């Protein structure tokens, strides 16, 4: 899969800014001259210069805006999970390359600075859009056996509350959405308590939504977690942890 064509405009602005500048400059003044019956243009006219600068700003922003829109459209046309994963990973590789190239460019005028700013913005935008998507796709692709899953000696309700507390406490990154956390948990965690059969983490997406909305909370789960955390703190405080 080759996504580089989608980013063609971005590469042009970053790697060949001078050429793009000259091309757009010729286009603008050519069109302006035609609109004014080919009369001679005073290049020092502040009003004309202001219009040219506004045109260039608009062009730069449009390149990055249309690139993002084309990327989203192309991804939306994919139906196979493997292709979606390949698409996102390739897009991440390309925007990483573009970001590195952008950081190497000069800041000699406001338009080059704008190119850098737009590149930084689309880099963040694409990761914000696809980070969770990639994690979820990879998790759904995996189908580990129960014996390969991490087993917690607490109930499913308690574990769900614990995961949300870890996320709200920024131990689990807040960049990970509740949905992505639910998908990961359902695919990788099991609950085993007091020798009961293994309980899968199925259906916790809806449960998390209910917890967040305040519709469903568990005082018992909270109390149990508090006791477990106190015990864990006591163990940590009385144990020398050597990091080598």
pLDDT reported for residue 194: 66
Q: How many CB atoms lie within 10 A of CB 183?
A: 21
Report residue 203's pLDDT band, with 50, 70 and 90 as the boundaries.
confident
Round to whole Å and give the CA distance between 110 and 9.
19
User: Which pTM does this prediction carry?
Assistant: 0.65
Round to whole Å and give the CA distance between 139 and 133.
10
What are the pLDDT digits (tens) for 95-111? 999 999 999 988 888 88
What are the pLDDT digits (tens) for 135-186? 888 877 777 888 888 888 888 888 888 888 888 888 888 888 888 888 888 8
């Amino acid at each position: 899969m080759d996504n580089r064509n989608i980013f063609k405009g971005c590469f042009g602005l970053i790697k060949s800014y001078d050429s793009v500048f000259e091309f757009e400059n010729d286009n603008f003044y050519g069109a302006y001259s035609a609109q004014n019956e080919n009369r001679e243009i005073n290049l020092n006219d502040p009003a004309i210069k202001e219009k040219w600068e506004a045109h260039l700003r608009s062009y730069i922003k449009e390149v990055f805006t249309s690139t993002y829109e084309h990327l989203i459209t192309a991804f939306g046309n994919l139906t196979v999970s493997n292709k979606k994963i390949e698409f996102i990973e390739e897009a991440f590789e390309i925007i990483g390359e573009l970001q590195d190239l952008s950081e190497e460019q000069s800041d000699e005028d406001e338009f080059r600075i704008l190119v850098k700013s737009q590149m930084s913005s689309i880099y963040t935008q694409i990761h914000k859009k696809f980070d969770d998507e990639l994690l979820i796709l990879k998790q759904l692709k995996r189908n580990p056996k129960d014996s390969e899953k991490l087993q917690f000696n607490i109930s499913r309700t308690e574990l769900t509350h614990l995961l949300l507390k870890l996320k709200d406490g920024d131990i689990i990154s807040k960049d990970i959405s509740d949905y992505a956390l639910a998908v990961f948990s359902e695919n990788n965690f099991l609950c085993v308590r007091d020798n009961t059969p293994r309980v899968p983490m199925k259906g916790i997406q809806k449960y998390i939504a209910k917890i967040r909305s305040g519709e469903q909370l568990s005082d018992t789960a909270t109390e149990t977690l508090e006791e477990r955390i106190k015990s864990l703190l006591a163990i940590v405080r009385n144990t020398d942890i050597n990091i080598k």
